[in-house]
């Protein structure tokens, strides 16, 4: 009797487990999908931290614009996720303005110190800009970016926009497990930098999972900015404190460098990929690399290859290699170099480059092309409001918590974006005073028939253009929904030529997420690809899609991080 009952229970359990898995497969459509999309009518926010998402949503519910919500969330993330962003870093954004029915691009990246010359690096015997300390510091562009966005598209008073971040900084918030892990990893490399331990540790230790973290100095800094505007940061006491801290440590950033800073409104550039216009910002960022990859892949039958197939993975990697050779040669501050953007993202150029791909063998190296010259760790978040405005915003310190130098008593650290300058003379990205470094952080947008369709981004250094292309391919070629497109196992290639001068000579290294089969990995190895595990970051994805027919937003958030998409 007991034996028969046990068999019945076990059988029912197995049936239930099988049914549940099958039901999940039928609902999501893909085994790798972690959850369904968020669908809302009036507004959506998607950030890498649930508390920041709720802040953005609260701003939207109070009548704030998508830009207000994005700024509020970004300010909070500087507190809650200092391992990726903060006021000491740079910012880029693409905004869809429902009123003008137009995309607007903002480059809020800072420039190198005017008193620091290339010769200084030589005198110190350096062949590369170091990642920590005072030498990689450039002007922080984030705060000016907030105010440029707010002046053009904000509707709420800046005091109200920054109030949630101020409140959390003063009252505290519980640190999540993932951020606690990265925070702890950052301390050993930066503990000797000015005021780092005082700013980001308690008795020399990073906050643990679940610990309430408070940052009263950051609350005071945000209050001053909210009350007095961007000039408080660039021309007031905050600027003087930043400059004094850097110079006392032997650095070169001055008050004049900060006072002279300005953001730049730029025209986004695009390519059409099988009926979808994909938009990126022009250099000094790397966004057009995603467009180059897509243009090359458009010459192949990607849908016919099938997701995760050897043919697709190989072709994608080779297209990435080609684009990144151009990235290393051409991408830089356009104020210092003639960049053939139109040529680089042209269809004919892509078709010519695609012919270099051997379908059966991995290339050990490619040379950069010769396009015609035409005139012409990070957080990502996206928001959308009831008026139809959408914001794609990315903001970063570069190497997680930046260079480690923290202005005394201000509650934040400074970026080390200058590390990406090349110290070899004669390159597009060669270091020069007052120059914006090559940038990895890129927001993205996509339109269909001139109407807003998709605001998205994937943080993660050189992963970003690779992941941008994969998101579009997942949606367009493989028919995935918005969440599936981000959950799908990613392809990552490292080892192409870098903006700092290294050249790919071994074919680089491929890392494939779990979900791409053993047979593919075996085939890739036989074709000459070098496979490794966990070579780099697979990124952090957030996205909002607008359904014109139904008049609703779809939201999706990264399953690899702490992110949340929410709407109302």
Any idea which residues carry the catalytic annotation?
Answer: 378
CB 504 within 8 A of CB 496: yes
The DSSP element (H or E) to which 248 belongs, if any, is: helix 237-248
Task: Find the Cα–Cα–Cα–Cα dihedral 314, 316, 319, 323, rounded to 10°.
Answer: -130
The DSSP element (H or E) to which 18 belongs, if any, is: helix 2-28
Q: Which of 441, 418, 327 is nearest to 84 (CA)?
A: 441
Distance from C-alpha of 157 to C-alpha of 389, rounded to nearest angstrom: 18
Residue 9, SS3 per DSSP = helix
Structure-token pair, residue 332: 């830089």
CB 413 within 8 A of CB 403: yes
> 148-170 burial by CB neighbour count: b if 16+ within 10 A, else e?
bbbeebbbbebeebbbbbbebbe
Residue 77, SS3 per DSSP = helix
Phi and psi of 135, rounded to 5°? -70, -35
Tell me the pairing of strands 38-40 and 444-448. Answer: unpaired
- What count of other Cβ atoms lies within 10 Å of the Cβ of residue 63? 11
Distance from C-alpha of 186 to C-alpha of 212, rounded to nearest angstrom: 19
> What is the DSSP track for 146-201?
HHHHHHHH--S-HHHHHHHHHHHHHH-EEPPHHHHHHHHHHHHHHTTSTTHHHHH-
Distance from C-alpha of 130 to C-alpha of 402, rounded to nearest angstrom: 11
Tell me the pairing of strands 379-384 and 276-280. Answer: unpaired
Structure-token pair, residue 79: 């507190």
List of long-range contacts for 99-106, beta carbons under 8 Å, 24+ apart: 99/387, 101/450, 103/268, 103/279, 103/445, 103/447, 104/152, 104/265, 104/268, 105/265, 105/266, 105/267, 105/268, 105/281, 106/145, 106/148, 106/149, 106/263, 106/264, 106/265, 106/266
Gyration radius from the chain CA atoms: 24
CB 44 within 8 A of CB 555: yes
The DSSP element (H or E) to which 105 belongs, if any, is: strand 102-108
Distance from C-alpha of 175 to C-alpha of 157, rounded to nearest angstrom: 29
CB 123 within 8 A of CB 87: no
């Amino acid at each position: 009797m007991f034996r028969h009952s046990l068999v019945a229970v076990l059988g029912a359990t197995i049936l239930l487990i099988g049914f549940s898995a099958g039901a999940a497969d039928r609902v999501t459509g893909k085994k790798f999908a972690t959850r369904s999309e968020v669908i809302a009518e009036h507004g959506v926010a998607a950030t890498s931290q649930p508390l920041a998402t709720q802040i953005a949503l609260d701003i939207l519910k109070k009548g704030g614009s998508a830009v207000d919500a994005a700024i509020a969330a970004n300010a909070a993330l500087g507190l809650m996720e200092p391992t990726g962003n903060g006021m000491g870093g740079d910012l880029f954004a693409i905004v869809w303005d429902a009123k003008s029915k137009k995309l607007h691009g903002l480059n809020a990246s800072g420039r190198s110190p005017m008193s620091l010359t290339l010769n200084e690096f030589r005198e110190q015997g350096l062949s590369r800009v170091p990642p920590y300390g005072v030498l990689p510091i450039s002007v922080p562009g984030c705060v000016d970016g907030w105010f440029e966005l707010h002046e053009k598209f904000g509707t709420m008073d800046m005091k109200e926009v920054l109030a949630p971040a101020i409140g959390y900084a003063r009252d505290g918030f519980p640190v999540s497990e993932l951020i606690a892990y990265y925070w702890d990893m950052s301390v050993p490399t930066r503990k000797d930098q000015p005021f780092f331990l005082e700013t980001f540790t308690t008795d020399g230790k990073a906050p643990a999972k679940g610990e309430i973290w408070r940052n009263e100095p950051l609350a005071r800094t945000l209050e001053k900015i909210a009350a007095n505007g961007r000039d408080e940061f660039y021309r007031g006491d905050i600027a003087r404190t930043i400059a004094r801290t850097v110079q006392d440590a032997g650095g070169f950033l001055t008050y004049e460098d900060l006072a002279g800073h300005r953001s730049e409104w730029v025209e986004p550039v695009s390519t059409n990929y099988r009926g979808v216009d994909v938009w990126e910002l022009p250099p000094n960022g790397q966004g057009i690399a995603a467009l180059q990859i897509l243009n090359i892949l458009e010459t192949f039958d990607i849908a016919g290859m099938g997701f995760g197939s050897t043919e697709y993975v190989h072709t994608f990697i080779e297209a990435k290699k080609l684009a990144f050779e151009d990235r290393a040669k051409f991408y830089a501050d356009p104020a210092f170099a003639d960049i053939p953007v139109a040529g680089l993202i042209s269809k004919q150029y892509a078709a010519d480059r695609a012919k270099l791909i051997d379908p059966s063998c991995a290339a050990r190296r490619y040379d950069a092309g010769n396009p015609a010259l035409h005139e012409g760790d990070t957080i990502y978040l996206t928001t959308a409001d009831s008026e139809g405005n959408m914001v794609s915003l990315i903001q970063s310190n570069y190497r997680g918590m930046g260079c480690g130098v923290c202005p005394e008593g201000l509650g934040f650290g400074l970026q080390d974006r200058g590390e990406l300058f090349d110290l070899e003379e004669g390159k597009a990205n060669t270091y020069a005073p007052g120059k914006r470094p090559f940038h990895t952080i890129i927001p993205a947008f996509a339109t269909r028939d001139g109407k807003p369709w998709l605001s998205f981004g994937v943080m993660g250094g050189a992963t970003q253009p690779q992941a941008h292309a994969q998101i579009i391919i997942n949606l367009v070629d493989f028919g995935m929904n918005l969440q599936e497109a981000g959950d799908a196992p990613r392809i990552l290639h490292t080892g192409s030529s870098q903006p700092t001068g290294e050249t790919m000579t071994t074919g680089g290294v491929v890392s494939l997420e779990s979900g791409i089969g053993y047979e593919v990995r075996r085939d890739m190895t036989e074709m000459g690809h070098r496979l490794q595990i966990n070579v780099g970051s697979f990124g952090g994805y957030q996205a909002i899609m607008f359904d014109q027919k139904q008049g609703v937003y779809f939201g999706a958030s990264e399953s690899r991080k702490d992110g949340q998409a929410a709407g109302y």
